[in-house]
Amino acid sequence: MTLTLHSAWRASAPYRVRIGLNLKGVAYDYVPVDLVAGQQRSEAYHALNAQNLVPSLVLEDGRVLTQSLSILEWLEETRPEPPLLPKNPLDRQAVRAMALLVACDIHPLNNLRILKALSGLGLDEPARNAWVHRWINDGFVALEPMVARYSRGYAFGDTPTIADVCIVPQVYNASRFGVDMAPYPAIAAAAARAGEHPAIAAAHPNNQPDAAK
Amino acid sequence: MTLTLHSAWRASAPYRVRIGLNLKGVAYDYVPVDLVAGQQRSEAYHALNAQNLVPSLVLEDGRVLTQSLSILEWLEETRPEPPLLPKNPLDRQAVRAMALLVACDIHPLNNLRILKALSGLGLDEPARNAWVHRWINDGFVALEPMVARYSRGYAFGDTPTIADVCIVPQVYNASRFGVDMAPYPAIAAAAARAGEHPAIAAAHPNNQPDAAK
């Protein structure tokens, strides 16, 4: 089956799906969506994704999957090896809680459409940066003890899970915005360890065809 | 096992967990957290939930579960009947995509901490209401065709799923803020149908011990 991923190199949500596909060893075609140029609002892209957001994963029969975490759960259910969730239900709850803390309570507050909306409300760049720092720090303060509790190399245990799938792009994003990671040694260590995994390294923004030169 | 849910009557995320617990027939003790008075930032509550967010679900052994959608997945895995997800992986993906559209791309942008932050940036009430309307409409425009495609009474099919668990509180929230539901007949119909289910009706904000008189 040939999958086609509509992606943007620096955006967190497609970065998560690239990590998941790579960890599962699933090949896919890459179609870049230029978010800065507004390509996500084109008629062609809107027909794929009515939210005008990336990613969209198109299956061979044309079916379009949206929402990164639901794509990752589908990957886990249809391609169980290697597992991206532990076996025990309470452990799975903890992994999903770490993933959702990032995916619900940090990332949506800071993505491109929100920064544009804040700009439209008259917030200048320093004020927008302060907004981004606030929500990343707010989330990382709560995430740090969870990673410290569960990590044995990766964010949970000693193999990659959907927690790493969400944390690695969020730490990349924090670095773009100059967030000081010194208060978050467990998160920083887990993200660094995960970043060395070949499948995760291959998903890095700089390794995508649409990366800025 | 006695579960204790730290909840707030009008907040979306604990409303989701109440619906899930009720649908699964799981009894729980209810501890109100007064968000308007700032009780979520108290030392006692912070020790339960480092994000200072509701809900927190405390198990009999003292273990604390956070993040509503990960609690719902845990409920589904540990108490499979009645199922809140369909069997087919692509159907499960669709249900989770609807749930996550609400839980990631609408609700976090409009909750109390964000409205307070916007107020701190100088936005008056009409501007804050416009912000809330914008993101609800933005999400509902994309959710409407999904519900229209999959609904046979409930948001997906003819029994409640985690899509309804997320949509019912979001429609309640939209109503609080005076969002016109006329453009979203499929969402409105599914939420109305779900709201008649006794387990879902029992989870309604007005039926909670901390509801305003």
Q: What are the extents of the domains in chain A? A: 3-81, 89-199
Say whether B69 and A101 touch across the interface (CB within 8 A): no
The reply to whether ipTM tops 0.90 is yes
Say whether B96 and A67 touch across the interface (CB within 8 A): yes
Average pLDDT over residues B68-79: 98
Q: What is the pLDDT of residues B146-165, one digit of tens each?
A: 999 999 999 999 999 999 99
Distance from the B67 Cα atom to the nearest Cα atom in chain A, whole angstroms = 5
Q: What is the pLDDT confidence band of residue B213, given thresholds at 50, 70 and 90?
A: confident
Average pLDDT over residues A118-127: 94
Cβ A5 vs Cβ A14: under 8 Å: yes
Give the ranges where chain A is alpha helix by DSSP (H). Answer: 12-24, 43-48, 68-78, 89-105, 107-110, 112-120, 125-150, 162-176, 185-195, 198-202
- Say how far apart CA A12 and CA B167 lie, in whole Å: 25
Q: How distant is the alpha carbon of residue B34 from its chain centre?
A: 17
Q: How many CB atoms neighbour CB A51 within 10 A?
A: 18
Q: What fold is seen in the domain B3-82? A: Glutaredoxin (3.40.30)
- Which candidate, B61, B65, B60, B50, places its Cα nearest to that of B6? B65
Of B50, B73, B89, the CB nearest to A96: B73
> In this complex, is the C-beta atom of A141 within 8 Å of any C-beta atom belonging to chain B?
yes
Mutant choice from A57, A100, A115 vs B, greatest count of B C-beta within 10 A = A100
Higher pLDDT, A213 or B181: B181
Say whether A73 and B53 touch across the interface (CB within 8 A): no
Q: Take residue B163 and report the two structure tokens written for it.
A: 């899509």
The pLDDT, as a whole number, for residue B45 is 97
For residue A213, pLDDT over 90 is answered with no
Q: What is the pLDDT confidence band of residue A206, given thresholds at 50, 70 and 90?
A: very high
For residue B210, pLDDT over 90 is answered with yes
- For residue B94, the surrounding DSSP H or E stretch is helix B89-105
Q: Taking a contact as any Cβ pair under 8 Å apart, which residues of chain B between 36 and 55 contact chain A?
A: 49-51, 53
> In this complex, is the C-beta atom of B131 within 8 Å of any C-beta atom belonging to chain A?
yes
The pLDDT, as a whole number, for residue B1 is 62
B118 phi, psi to nearest 5 deg: -65, -40
For residue B72, pLDDT over 70 is answered with yes
Of B74, B92, B108, the CB nearest to A105: B108
> In this complex, is the C-beta atom of B127 within 8 Å of any C-beta atom belonging to chain A?
yes
Q: If you classify domain B89-199 with CATH, what class do you get?
A: mainly alpha
Average pLDDT over residues B106-125: 94
- Say how far apart CA B174 and CA B161 lie, in whole Å: 20
Average pLDDT over residues A201-211: 98
Residue entry with tokens 């967190």:
A12
- Say how far apart CA A88 and CA A96 lie, in whole Å: 12
- Say how far apart CA B59 and CA B47 lie, in whole Å: 15
Say whether B73 and A92 touch across the interface (CB within 8 A): yes
% of chain A beyond a pLDDT of 90: 98
Q: Can you give the length of chain A in residues?
A: 213
> For all residues of chain B together, what is the average pLDDT?
97
Q: If you classify domain A3-81 with CATH, what class do you get?
A: alpha beta
Contacts of A94 in chain B (CB under 8 A): 70
Say whether A50 and B121 touch across the interface (CB within 8 A): no
B149 phi, psi to nearest 5 deg: -70, -40
- Say how far apart CA B103 and CA B170 lie, in whole Å: 9
Sign of CA dihedral A179, A185, A187, A193: positive
Burial class (CB in 10 A: 0-12, 13-18, 19+), A89: middle
Phi-psi label, residue B71: left if phi above 0, alpha if psi -120 to 50, beta otherwise:
alpha
The pLDDT, as a whole number, for residue A1 is 62
Sign of CA dihedral A184, A187, A192, A193: positive
The pLDDT, as a whole number, for residue A13 is 98
Q: What is the pLDDT confidence band of residue A147, given thresholds at 50, 70 and 90?
A: very high
Average pLDDT over residues A5-10: 97
Average pLDDT over residues A8-19: 98
- Say how far apart CA B138 and CA B170 lie, in whole Å: 13
> For all residues of chain A together, what is the average pLDDT?
97
Say whether A71 and B53 touch across the interface (CB within 8 A): no
For residue A35, pLDDT over 80 is answered with yes
Cβ A29 vs Cβ A5: under 8 Å: yes
Mutant choice from B46, B75, B100 vs A, greatest count of A C-beta within 10 A = B100
Average pLDDT over residues B176-194: 98
Q: Which residues pair with A30 in a beta bridge?
A: A5
Query: CA-CA distances (angstroms) from residue B46 to A199, B9, B16, B94, B203?
Result: 37, 19, 21, 35, 25
- Say how far apart CA A191 and CA A154 lie, in whole Å: 7
Phi-psi label, residue B74: left if phi above 0, alpha if psi -120 to 50, beta otherwise:
alpha
